[in-house]
């Protein structure tokens, strides 16, 4: 065992060793290759670490794995590599592109460090973790904020009883029958693809496989396989509502994760040779952009009332559902979206150790309007993925603000998709978007 640990440590030291003299061409490429190899090495231990990799096979070869997790040597490797990249961020660096790539990679490596510590059960507070993993400071909302939104819902909902029960009474009429799920999803994905392709040029070989699974903590997942191909999985554990067919079609497919990964691979890795882009570490600033743009991608493809209109005219009849109360249902959905940050507060409570399960369930049922079964599944997602939940709502708000504050409004679709495309095809810093967002508040 000692020999295997020694070999792993030697491999990691060799991984980050490099010529200290700054040579902008080959030396930077060598550093990006070391970054990828380091990420792949971590992924041998932490199987959730690497979400996608489509880089050279040579970088996966000869990776050493010891019998125990070499936390300290991995952390040293991260720090040493960050220091090498910092040589490209000082005032003497005249290449703005290299400076930006180096800064982006340093932030990614900060996330590497935090994830290594998490994997070793060396935990931090919710705010510290979110900052190191995702390069942002998450806003705090007190219970009074969510109560005010719930009060709006109360005035909108018909009948008497608890708000979650009344929401469920309306929503249950829009559950897709199991024998219609595949037809509805394929129709929604094809429409989302058609709308996205009006503004983006996709590689001719791009494609995806659609699968249905069970026993997962998430409702949908995109497994990007490289070469412009994805496997999109839909979880059938819980009832699927008609609006989720559109949401998941956009989020996992077009113009969400499938398009995000595809454009990064084509525009940065294939066309420019940026090796660092070929590795997608799940717990990193990159995910805040990936999840945020995937969620905002729903509004991109179906702006304004178009989501409700497409559901009413196409998907609801296809599912054999009565179209009555469609307008009310989508008004409820819009108000529920204002409650999304309640899940962040539950994650904050769980990670900080000051919210027990019963209190978590109370928040998730009262403010996220989940039933107890869905709430328990949501808690299991947070326990596994921790502060990752911020990527969905805060990431979406940062993406929305960047696009709309720069002229990407619904009345200017060309500009809107151009700005969206920038977020999907460049090394973007979440903290950079956050500064702009805070100025607009």
Mean pLDDT of 361-377: 93
49 and 160, same structural domain? no
CA trace torsion 308, 312, 318, 319 (10° rounding): 70
111 and 55, same structural domain? yes
Instruction: Check residue 313 and report its DSSP letter.
Output: I
Residue 159 lies in a domain: yes
Residue 138 lies in a domain: no
Residue 10 has pLDDT above 70, yes or no: no
Q: In sequence order, what are the beta bridge partners of 207?
A: 229
183 and 86, same structural domain? no
Among 252, 246, 255, which residue's Cα sits nearest to residue 310? 246
Among 222, 348, 352, 278, which residue's Cα sits nearest to residue 108? 278
| Nearest-10 crossing angle of helices 2-16, 71-86 | 10
And the tokens for 307? Answer: 């989501």
And the tokens for 147? Answer: 């109560």
- H helices of 17-65, in order, are 26-45
Residue 146 lies in a domain: no
The larger pLDDT score, comparing residue 87 to residue 238, is at: 87
Which pLDDT score, from 0 to 100, does residue 17 have?
47
Contact in structure between 280 and 313 (CB atoms under 8 Å): no
407 and 264, same structural domain? yes
Cα–Cα–Cα angle for 432, 37, 80, rounded to 5 degrees? 65
Residue 139 lies in a domain: no
Question: Which residue's entry shows tokens 């967002």?
Answer: 437
| Nearest-10 crossing angle of helices 341-352, 390-405 | 140
| Confidence band for 12, pLDDT divided at 50, 70 and 90 | low
Which helix H or strand E contains 360, and what residues bound it? helix 357-366
Cis peptide before 255 (omega within 30 of 0): yes
222 and 110, same structural domain? no
Residue 8 has pLDDT above 60, yes or no: no
Who's near 439: CB < 8 A, 6+ residues apart?
A: none
Residue 129 lies in a domain: no
Beta 207-213 vs 229-235: how paired, if at all?
parallel
Tell me the three state secondary structure of residue 123: coil
Residue 144 lies in a domain: no
Residue 373's domain comprises 153-440
58 and 114, same structural domain? yes
In this predicted model, what pLDDT tens digit does every residue of 189-245 receive, in sequence order? 999 999 999 999 999 999 999 999 999 988 999 999 999 999 999 999 989 999 999
| Confidence band for 25, pLDDT divided at 50, 70 and 90 | low
Residue 145 lies in a domain: no
Residue 72 has pLDDT above 70, yes or no: yes
Question: CA-CA distance, 224 to 231, in Å (whole number)?
Answer: 6
106 and 37, same structural domain? yes
Which pLDDT score, from 0 to 100, does residue 2 have?
45
φ/ψ of 163, rounded to 5, equals -65, -45
Which pLDDT score, from 0 to 100, does residue 394 have?
97
89 and 183, same structural domain? no
Phi-psi label, residue 17: left if phi above 0, alpha if psi -120 to 50, beta otherwise: beta
Tally the C-alpha atoms within 13 A of residue 22's C-alpha that lie toward its C-beta.
Answer: 16
Contact in structure between 211 and 234 (CB atoms under 8 Å): yes
Beta 50-53 vs 220-226: how paired, if at all?
unpaired
| Nearest-10 crossing angle of helices 143-156, 163-171 | 50
Q: In sequence order, what are the beta bridge partners of 241?
A: 175
Question: CA-CA distance, 150 to 275, in Å (whole number)?
Answer: 47
307 and 174, same structural domain? yes
Instruction: Check residue 235 and report its DSSP letter.
Output: E
Q: Return the percentage of the chain with pLDDT > 90, whole number.
A: 86
Among 48, 40, 52, which residue's Cα sits nearest to residue 77? 40
| Confidence band for 435, pLDDT divided at 50, 70 and 90 | confident
159 and 105, same structural domain? no
Question: CA-CA distance, 30 to 311, in Å (whole number)?
Answer: 50
In this predicted model, what pLDDT tens digit does every residue of 304-337 receive, in sequence order? 999 999 999 999 999 999 999 999 999 999 999 9
340 and 239, same structural domain? yes
Instruction: Classify the C-alpha dihedral 249-253-257-263 as positive or negative.
Output: negative
Among 172, 237, 240, which residue's Cα sits nearest to residue 373? 237
184 and 55, same structural domain? no
Residue 99 lies in a domain: yes
Query: Total domain count for the chain?
Result: 2
What order do you get walking across the sheet with 220-226 strand by strand?
A: 207-213, 229-235, 220-226
Beta 50-53 vs 279-281: how paired, if at all?
antiparallel
Among 276, 290, 275, 266, which residue's Cα sits nearest to residue 109? 276
């Amino acid at each position: 065992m000692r020999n295997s640990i020694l070999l792993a440590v030697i491999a990691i030291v060799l991984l980050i060793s490099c010529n200290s003299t700054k040579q902008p061409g080959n030396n930077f490429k060598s550093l990006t290759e070391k970054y990828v190899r380091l990420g792949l090495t971590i992924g041998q231990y932490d199987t959730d670490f690497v979400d996608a990799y489509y880089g050279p096979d040579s970088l996966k070869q000869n990776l050493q794995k010891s019998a125990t997790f070499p936390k300290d040597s991995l952390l040293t490797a991260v720090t040493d590599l960050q220091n090498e990249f910092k040589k490209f961020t000082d005032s003497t660096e005249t290449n703005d592109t290299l400076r930006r790539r180096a800064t982006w990679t340093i932030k990614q490596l900060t996330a590497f460090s935090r994830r290594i510590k998490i994997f070793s059960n060396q935990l931090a507070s919710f705010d510290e973790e979110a900052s190191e993993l995702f390069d942002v400071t998450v806003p705090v909302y007190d219970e009074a904020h969510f109560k005010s939104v719930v009060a709006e819902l109360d005035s909108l909902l018909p009948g008497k009883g608890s708000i979650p029960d009344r929401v469920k009474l309306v929503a249950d009429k829009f559950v897709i029958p199991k024998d219609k799920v595949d037809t509805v999803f394929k129709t929604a994905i094809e429409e989302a693809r058609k709308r996205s392709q009006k503004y983006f040029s996709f590689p001719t070989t791009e494609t995806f496989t659609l699968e249905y699974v069970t026993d997962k903590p998430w409702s949908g997942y995109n497994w990007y396989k490289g070469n412009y191909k994805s496997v999109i999985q839909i979880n059938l554990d819980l009832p699927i509502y008609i609006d989720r067919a559109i949401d998941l079609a956009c989020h996992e497919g077009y113009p969400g994760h499938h398009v995000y990964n595809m454009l990064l691979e084509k525009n940065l890795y294939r066309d420019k040779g940026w090796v660092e882009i070929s590795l997608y570490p799940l717990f990193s600033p990159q995910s805040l952009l990936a999840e945020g743009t995937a969620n905002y991608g729903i509004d991109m493809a179906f702006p304004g009332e178009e989501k409700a209109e497409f559901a009413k005219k196409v998907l609801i009849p296809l599912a054999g559902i009565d179209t009555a109360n469609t307008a009310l249902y989508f008004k409820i959905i819009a108000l529920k979206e204002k409650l999304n940050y309640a899940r962040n507060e539950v994650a904050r409570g769980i990670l900080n150790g000051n919210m027990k399960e019963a209190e978590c369930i109370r928040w998730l049922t009262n403010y996220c309007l989940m039933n107890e079964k869905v709430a328990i599944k949501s808690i299991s997602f947070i326990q596994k993925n921790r502060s990752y939940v911020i990527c969905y709502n805060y990431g979406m708000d940062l993406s929305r603000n960047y696009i709309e504050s720069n002229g990407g409004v619904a009345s200017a679709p060309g500009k809107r998709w151009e700005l969206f495309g920038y977020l999907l095809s460049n090394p973007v810093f979440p903290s950079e978007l956050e500064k702009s967002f805070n100025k607009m508040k």
